[in-house]
Chains A and B, each alone.
Chain A
Amino acid sequence: MKRILTSSVALAVLAATHAFAQRKATIENVPEISFTSAPNFLKLPPGEYLGESVAVATNSKGHIFVFHRSANTRLFEFDRGGEFLKEIGSGYYGFEFSHSVRVDKDDNIWTVDEGTNMVTKFSPDGKVLMVLGRRPPAVVGAQAFPAGPNVPAEKYIFCRPTDVGWDPQGNIFVSDGYCNNRVVKYDKNGRFLAQAGSEKAGKALGEFNLPHGLQVDAQGNVWVADRTNNRYQVLDNNLKPMREITNLGVGWTLCISPGPHQYAFLSNSNPNGNMPGTWDITGEIYKAELDGTVIGKFGHPGKVVPGFQVVHMMDCRNPNEIVVGEIESWRVQKLILQPTTARAGAAR
């Protein structure tokens, strides 16, 4: 009997490892936050379409930027009412396969492209101000998908980077990414300062296995969605690990709201490739205090609005109006949340 138990435990572990992407959050008794999805939120001109809408951000005027995987990766700007304004970076060298867009405090627009391995800072009017990383040179020809161990991480070269953030001093933080497993810190002029993690995936604090989203809070602490490790990590400003959050399912992406009282929004996104039952246990977004106290959750997987179909990025400039970009439904939703009162219904 003991042997049977052992082997079924081993099986369960194997199954859990295998099904990492449909992990149920272990937190319990989290109150539901009711919300509505603004109907027909983004209005596209005739003949224009969104592709996989993996990245979304707003600026101080409420304009919405969507960095999406169309036939070519493209960056669209909409006004606060969802009317299309313009395209930025059409045909640009650093666009091939979008992953993140974020807007800094001066309304510069930063794109993270995991096809070109480039992070680009655009001015508010769409001029290139700075680039980090380098696109692999085309002159070496078409490359087979890389296999084998990751090449050693370099200070100024990324490997499928995923996200970017800044501390109040303007230092730049990049999560890098699918084939490196690290977070890199640069000064505001793009000079390398420090890194946590390396090209190798790891489970210890300060190590990562697919750092997939990144935000920096007002104290300069760096929050990382450590996706394949099913957790979030919080690092200090020098990238020393402080703590981890392990009870919210897969750490797919996160957003930290601005202002004097900051909230973290943390998404246990339903995975690409759903097995039966997956929709019942994943897909929700948590709202938490920065000390980790979870104050509510909202949302479920679904193809139809207001369902979520693999939430890939959230904007939370207004913590009661969350703009979410989804991979599989090629759309952006604006969610109007019922405001929470601080600490009410706190769950651990």
Chain B
Amino acid sequence: MKRMIQALLAATAIAGVPAIAQREAPEIRFDSVPNALQLPAGLYLGEVGGVATNSRGDIFVYTRTGHPTISIGTARPFAHGGSRLFQFDRNGKFVREIGKDSYGFMYAAQVRVDPSDNIWVVDEMTNMVIKFDPQGRVALLLGRKAENVTVPARPRAGGGPGQPTDLFDRPTDVAWDAAGNIFVADGLGNARIAKFDKDGKFLNSWGKKGTAPGEFADVSSIAVDGQGNVYAADGGNQRIQVFDNNGNFKTAFTNVGNAQALCMTKGSNQVLYVSNSNPPNDIDRDGEIYKMRLDGTMTGKFGRAGKLLKEFGTVNAIDCASENTLYVGEIGNLRVQKLILH
């Protein structure tokens, strides 16, 4: 037995695989639809922060298209640009761009669509959450963009103070409960979840940097179930934490790897998808997506890190409006894949 363990350890060391027990779950067979999104000539996706669908099946992609600009010859250095929001129809045909040249678009973190088909964008660099109505008009703003940038950028202080204000520091995601309360994952700079009422009034927040229950390495994604419980991806701590509607810790799922992107289906039998995203500098580890029940039981897994179809390059977003038709947004491969689960 001892020899066997040694051999296993040696094999692990040789393969360079982190010594984490393989997470046991049946493989889900699936396909990736080629050319799921048809971009017009001259339009390109960059790193995909978010992908989401509305009730008609329209697809929204918030992407880092690059080339954020800092002005010179000004009283202070001002920065703008770098991300764009595109809309496609259910067949993947390009429909339009929303929020072109918006003051709040610099570094795409996420896009989500609420039950009324409003489109919510989370930007990690302007530190704003922007609600667009279905026509694409700005309907509600949370947070505020810093007026200017510092050149060269100062090293970060370390972050994670969990500041209990209505301003954000690298927010990553947004979700709503049945009453319309808004939950913002805030995120990578702060390490907390902020709760607002449906009109954007700041109510409370919870969490700070740490490893104890209710603390986060970071919050990279959130989801809210039909009962109003809040699920937070705390990938740096290799877990998903579950809170009640007011932020009281309930439980944690610790078998999920680097939980980076969450999606929860709607309806009565809700399931949770979570991506054990590979780090952007390595496609030889991790990358698979897990399917779970809301009690934390794993029911299946699929995919791995890589550059081909059916492989993933640092998944940052999952849309699961339909349980067996998923849209997956990737950082590493500059694309959205449409997955059909069998």
Contacts and interface: CB of A to CB of B under 8 A. Distances in A.
Interface string A71-105: 01000000000000001011111111000000000
A92 B283 contact: no
B150 A134 contact: no
A247 B281 CA distance: 39
A131 B64 contact: no
B82 A190 contact: no
B67 A144 contact: no
Interface string B282-325: 11100000000000000000000011100000000000000000
A46 B77 CA distance: 34
B66 A96 contact: yes
Contact of B124 (A94, A116, A139): A139
Interface string A119-148: 000000011101100110111111110000
A156 interface: yes
Contact of B107 (A94, A134, A139): A139
Contacts of B18: none
Nearest to B313: A131
A191 interface: yes
A141 B306 contact: no
A290 interface: no
Prevailing SS type, chain B contact patch: loop
A138 B82 contact: yes
Contacts of A92: 44, 46, 66
> What is the size category of the interface that chain B forms with chain A?
35 or more
A91 B125 contact: no
Contacts of B151: 141-142
A341 interface: no
B42 A87 contact: yes
Nearest to B282: A156
B153 A143 contact: yes
A194 to B, nearest CB: 13
B152 A93 contact: no
B68 A91 contact: no
Contact of B332 (A90, A134, A140, A191): A134
Contacts of A191: 283-284, 306-307
B281 A138 contact: no
B65 A91 contact: yes
B67 A142 contact: no
B64 A138 contact: yes
Contacts of B283: 156, 190-191
A191 B42 CA distance: 28
A155 interface: yes
A41 interface: no
A96 B284 contact: no
Interface in B73-90: 77, 82
Contact of B334 (A131, A140, A143): A131
Contacts of A143: 152-153
Interface string B326-340: 000001111100000
Contacts of A135: 46-47, 66
B106 interface: yes
Interface string B55-75: 000000000111110100000
B284 A155 contact: yes
Contacts of A95: 66
B227 to A, nearest CB: 34
Given A89-B44, A155-B281, A131 B153 contact: no
Contact-residue size bin, chain A (C-beta under 8 Å from the other chain):
20 to 34
A72 B64 CA distance: 17
A192 B284 CA distance: 9
Nearest to B278: A156
Contacts of A137: 107
A157 interface: yes
B282 A93 contact: no
B152 A144 contact: yes
Contacts of A154: 281-282
Nearest to B170: A139
A216 B44 CA distance: 30
Contacts of A128: 44-45, 334-335
Nearest to A143: B152
Contacts of A141: 149-154
Nearest to B106: A138
Contact of A138 (B107, B150, B154): B107
Contacts of A90: 42, 44
A169 interface: no
Contacts of B65: 91, 93
A124 B197 CA distance: 51
A137 B153 CA distance: 13
Which among A91, A93, A96, A131 has the highest number of chain B CB atoms within 10 Å? A93
Nearest to A132: B307
Contacts of A26: none
Nearest to A155: B282
B15 interface: no
A144 B150 CA distance: 11
> Looking at A91, A143, A192, which has the most chain B CB atoms within 10 Å of its CB?
A91
Contacts of B67: 72, 91, 96
A87 B331 CA distance: 25
A91 B42 CA distance: 8
Interface string A259-272: 00000000000000
20 contacts: A89-B44, A91-B43, A91-B66, A92-B46, A93-B47, A127-B39, A131-B333, A134-B280, A134-B331, A134-B332, A135-B46, A135-B66, A138-B106, A142-B150, A142-B152, A143-B152, A155-B282, A155-B284, A190-B306, A192-B284
Given A142-B150, A190-B306, 15 more contacts: A91-B43, A91-B44, A93-B44, A93-B45, A93-B46, A93-B65, A93-B66, A131-B307, A131-B332, A134-B281, A138-B82, A138-B107, A139-B170, A141-B151, A189-B308
9 shortest interchain CB distances as A-B pairs: A141-B153, A93-B46, A93-B66, A144-B152, A190-B307, A139-B107, A92-B44, A142-B151, A90-B42
Interface of B: 39, 41-47, 64-68, 70, 77, 82, 106-107, 124-125, 149-154, 156, 170, 280-284, 306-308, 331-335
